[in-house]
Structures are given as C-alpha cells and as structure tokens.
Amino acid sequence: MFVRAKDVGLTGTESPTDIDADRALGGRLERIRTAAAALMGIPGSAAVPKIVLVAPPAPFTALDRARYDATQVDLIARVVSMGACHRAVA
C-alpha cells in the first residue's frame, strides 16, 4: 500500500536507519497498515500489506553515500515491512 510521506510527517528523504529509529512513526505506520489490511479483507498478518512511503523528487543521499539531484529521480520511495525499513526496493 502506498502512503504519502508527507501525510506521516516525513519528507521521503529520511534514511532507513532514521525511519527505523522513530518509534512513534513505527506505531503510526503499523496502525495505518492494520486498518488498511482490515479494509482489504486481509487476515491478521504482520507481513502484508507492505507499506511504501512515497514522495516527489527531491535531492537525497543514497545508502552508498552517492548524492542525487531531484532531476535525476522520478520519485522517492521507502519500503517498510514487518516494522523495518528495507535497504533496497524489491
């Protein structure tokens, strides 16, 4: 499921480490995820649906420390599954 980063107080450029460290955010995302699962008729599973935080293009630094300008990307995404932010998008 897609969630606009700005709707949960994020820019979208936060690192996976920063997202994982924010316990209040984690709780909010879990509440959103479980409510969405109920609306979709998905039985109680910690694995689905996954959350994809999306944001418009913006300058950011990747995990390998490479820097990207907003003109080099079409969107920014962070995938959260089972309470942890993935280091790659699958």
Residue positions counted in the chain: 90
- Give the tens place of pLDDT for each residue, 50-79: 999 999 999 999 999 999 999 999 999 999
CA distance 36 to 10: 20
Q: Reading across the β-sheet that carries 76-81, which strands appear in turn?
A: 2-4, 51-55, 76-81, 84-85
Tokens of 27: 């709780």
Cis? peptide before 57, omega within 30° of 0: no
pTM, rounded to two decimals: 0.91
Q: Has domain 2-85 been given CATH number 1.10.238.10?
A: no
- The domains of the chain are located at 2-85
- Give the tens place of pLDDT for each residue, 33-51: 999 999 999 987 888 999 9
